[in-house]
Amino acid sequence: MGVIRYRWAIAHRKETKFLKALKGWDNIMGQSLVNIYAHIIFSTKNRQPLIDGPIEKELHRYLAGVINNLNCKTIKVGGHVDHVHALCMLSKQLPITKLVQEMKTDSSWWIKSRGEQYKNFYWQDGYGAFSVGWNVVDTLAAYIENQHIHHRKITFQEEYRAFLIENRVEYSETYVWT
């Protein structure tokens, strides 16, 4: 109701008690402040184990560079042979869909340029993106760092399902892996 009254008062240039009370309010919120952490996960097409030793660390550094170049702040990038995890602070100016699109497009081109054995490299179509509280950023960064140890015990699919369930994301088993 307040917004409607405010817009009406502005449109009709009336000095109302409501408008007088808001004078100077626009100066209070002059700066846009954002502190949104995101955990992004996506896999190779059909979960092919194509992120092998020779390019793994380079790929993670490359993805971190893509994230940073888009005015987001990389906290940690890691993964295993068939997927990546990226923990970052989001930019206030960039939708997450654009961030993921750029990460996938740029890194796919980069990987294909690394040699003939990567010419058929593709990322899966979808991705998972989960909000992260500031108080668990260090724990999640350590989790991402230890992906190789973690995946001795469970598969990527088991891990990803667990994240979906933990974050209460509804999904269809039919479409989640395409």
Classify residue 171: in a domain, yes or no: no
Cβ atoms 55, 118 nearer than 8 A: yes
E runs forming strands in 1-143: 37-43, 73-80, 83-89, 128-132
Residues 132 and 69 placed together within one structural domain of the fold: yes
Cβ atoms 96, 37 nearer than 8 A: no
pLDDT at 9: 55
Residues 15 and 72 placed together within one structural domain of the fold: no
Cβ atoms 112, 119 nearer than 8 A: yes
Domain span including residue 8: 1-31
Neighbours of 104 (CB within 10 A): 19
Across the strands, what pairs with 87? Answer: 39, 76
Classify residue 79: in a domain, yes or no: yes
Overall domain count for the chain:
2
Residues 97 and 147 placed together within one structural domain of the fold: yes
Residues 48 and 122 placed together within one structural domain of the fold: yes
Write the pLDDT tens digit of every residue in 1-40: 455 555 655 555 555 555 566 665 555 667 888 899 999 9
Write the pLDDT tens digit of every residue in 139-177: 999 999 999 998 999 999 999 999 999 999 999 988 887
Residues 21 and 79 placed together within one structural domain of the fold: no
Residues 84 and 117 placed together within one structural domain of the fold: yes
The residues, ordered by sequence, that sit 6+ positions from 24 with a Cβ below 8 Å of its Cβ are: none
Residues 96 and 138 placed together within one structural domain of the fold: yes
Residues 157 and 138 placed together within one structural domain of the fold: yes
DSSP run (H or E) holding 120: none
Tokens of 100: 């993921």
Q: Could you give the CA distance from residue 78 to residue 65 in angstroms, rounded to a whole number?
A: 13
User: pTM of the entire structure?
Assistant: 0.81
Q: Could you give the CA distance from residue 141 to residue 132 in angstroms, rounded to a whole number?
A: 11
Residues 66 and 21 placed together within one structural domain of the fold: no
Classify residue 178: in a domain, yes or no: no
Write the pLDDT tens digit of every residue in 61-113: 999 999 999 999 999 999 999 999 999 999 999 999 999 999 999 999 999 99
Classify residue 161: in a domain, yes or no: yes
Closest-CA residue to 86 (of 135, 47, 134, 143)? 143
Residues 84 and 153 placed together within one structural domain of the fold: yes
Closest-CA residue to 111 (of 176, 156, 48, 69)? 48
pLDDT at 176: 84
Classify residue 177: in a domain, yes or no: no
Cβ atoms 94, 70 nearer than 8 A: yes
Residues 72 and 16 placed together within one structural domain of the fold: no
Q: What is the CATH number of the domain that holds 54?
A: 3.30.70.1290
Classify residue 83: in a domain, yes or no: yes
Residues 115 and 150 placed together within one structural domain of the fold: yes
Q: Could you give the CA distance from residue 88 to residue 36 in angstroms, rounded to a whole number?
A: 8
